[in-house]
Amino acid sequence: MPKYDYIIVGSGIAGLYTALLARQLGTVLILTKGTIEETNTRYAQGGIAAAIGSNDSTNLHFEDTLAAGAGLSDPEHVRILVDEAADRIQDLINFGVPFDTIHGEIALTREGAHSRDRILHAGGDATGEQIEMTLSRLAQMSRITVLENILVTDVIVEQGRATGVRTLDGRTDLAADYEGHFILLTTGGAGRIFRYTTNSPVATGDGVALAYRANAEIRDMEFYQFHPTALRLPGAPPFLISEAVRGEGAILRNKQGKAFAKNYHNLGDLAPRDIVARALLSEMAKDNSDNVFLDVTHLHDAKIATRFPTIYKTCLSHGIDMAKDWIPVSPAAHYMMGGIVTNTWGETTVPGLFTCGETACTGVHGANRLASNSLLEVLIFGKRLIQKTKSILEDKEEMSGIPTSGGSSLAKHSSRDTNDIPLSFSAIQNLMWEQVGMIRNGHDLAKASQTLASWEMDLANEIGAQDQELRNVILTARLMAEAALQRTESRGAHSRSDFDSTANEWEKHINFQKSPS
Ligand code: SIN
């Protein structure tokens, strides 16, 4: 069996960044189920938050992050996030990431629920793409082995320790195992689980599913963020219209042309993302419409085209000139706050298994992520993850994993719990959108959980790569639906019509583990 010091699953910013640091310590294998170019990071437009502006402070960034997290962010972890931000940004600059500047200084913009302008961007609205391109160029020039079109189907666990991975070739279904000293899950998010999403086609929740099956603890899966403004046009994919567009002055308008955001929150168009997204739903329902509009027509044409070149071109390709026309928008699935439980050193509850990025739950986002904290989270905790493995390699520390906090396994369903809807990817996406989406209720969540469990049983004997990916989608969806069913309150991004207020007794996490100890 081929053996590597580091096996990294996923090739977004989390995979590439950790790989570039790890290559100085040992052999590195990146396994990616698509190509190195097709990752969720590439779709990140807004940027990276860091308190580097002259009127800003890490304390303000800390407070804004905790406020967005609605009582469930871990303050110690958030403190690390904001304090180490400037150094990690410098690392990216050293790697060659071309952040946008103005008068020789790094340009900073604002996004929802930030009290200062603190979002760094690159290529205008192509921050993710610029970072991804810089890092993947470096990875391709270095001694890192990258295998594309390889789906990891299981983490191999021996005597309680992760020791390798099982894989299937996505083109041939050929199986192969790889042995690794450190196994890193950096597979990104799960937006594809929902009908409308801003995410890339590879975002199917694989890391969470792999970790759960390996008996790692999973947390906060009920907290899923819906972005308020994705392009909504018949036949067009729900392309992200960055919150930075509102940061530069765009106004949300309903069908009558009225600006409505101030009716929902005093920060108006730049209120926290969950509040804006629900405001859109409410306006759309009042007007019996599929969308509202984003109006940037009052900004200078040149500014629109240079600050948002990707959005401008994409809208134009759909016949919308955003300098003159309002953009039809509606919410879409965007970011998974929960994931694999990890400490601030990337360790999971399974020794040898590490994680960072969207698939991890470091606890910094709590119930709702502050915009542009996600790329930052990757850098901060990815760096610490590699520092931890270095200490282990140098025999200064043990490969011990972190203690579990006492989760429960998913509900047991009997094979008699069948349903009439045939299993397909789009059936899952529709079910998740309609029953586990932005506004939830106990009846629908219970029904969704049961349907997902019966689909899981339908797949039990299928072994091809596509079915294995579907298996991951269903497992991740089940974790979301069951967590959302258990949380009988509304908090942050989790909104229940049958429990519409926040309850003090729910200021706690929901954890899952396959075989709780
Ligand atoms: C955006 O550009 O609106 C998305 C940024 C983020 O999700 O952090």
Q: Does residue 90 form part of some domain?
A: no
Q: Does residue 407 form part of some domain?
A: no
Q: What is the pTM of this model?
A: 0.96
Q: Whose CA is nearest to atom 4 of ligand 1?
A: 46
Q: Does residue 452 form part of some domain?
A: yes
Q: Does residue 200 form part of some domain?
A: no
Please state, in angstroms and rounded to a whole number, the distance separating the CA atoms of residues 361 and 407. 14
Question: Region 34-42: what's the mean pLDDT?
Answer: 73
Residue 48 structure tokens: 């990276």
pLDDT tens by residue, 112-151? 899 999 999 999 999 988 998 899 889 888 889 999 999 9
Q: Domain boundary residue among 276, 310, 332?
A: 332
pLDDT tens by residue, 450-479? 999 999 988 877 778 999 999 999 999 999
Q: Domain boundary residue among 291, 311, 332?
A: 332
Number of domains within the chain: 2
CATH number for the domain spanning 317: value is: 3.90.700.10
Residue 460 Cα to ligand 1 midpoint, Å, equals 37
Q: Which residue has the higher pLDDT, 111 or 491?
A: 491
Specify the pLDDT at position 467. 92
> Taking the alpha carbons of 57, 63, 364, 121 in that order, is the dihedral positive or negative?
negative
Q: Does residue 265 form part of some domain?
A: yes
Q: What CA–CA distances, in Å, run from 35 to 16, 31, 151, 172, 477?
A: 13, 10, 11, 16, 24
For residue 223, the one-letter residue type is F
CATH number for the domain spanning 508: value is: 1.20.58.100
Q: Does residue 12 form part of some domain?
A: no
Instruction: Domain of residue 275: give its range.
Output: 228-332
Please tell me if the CB atom of residue 45 comes closer than 6 angstroms to any atom of ligand 1: yes
Q: Is 384 a catalytic residue?
A: no
Pocket test for ligand 1, best of 64, 111, 125, 375 (most atoms within 8 A of CB): 111
Q: Does residue 321 form part of some domain?
A: yes
Per cent of the chain over pLDDT 70 is: 98
Band of residue 305 on the pLDDT scale cut at 50, 70, 90: confident
In 25-94, DSSP assigns E strands to: 28-31, 48-49
Q: Domain boundary residue among 313, 332, 351?
A: 332
Residue 39 has pLDDT above 90, yes or no: no
Q: Which of 273, 440, 491, 496 is catalytic?
A: 273
Please state, in angstroms and rounded to a whole number, the distance separating the CA atoms of residues 267 and 264. 9
Q: Does residue 136 form part of some domain?
A: no
Please state, in angstroms and rounded to a whole number, the distance separating the CA atoms of residues 292 and 295. 10
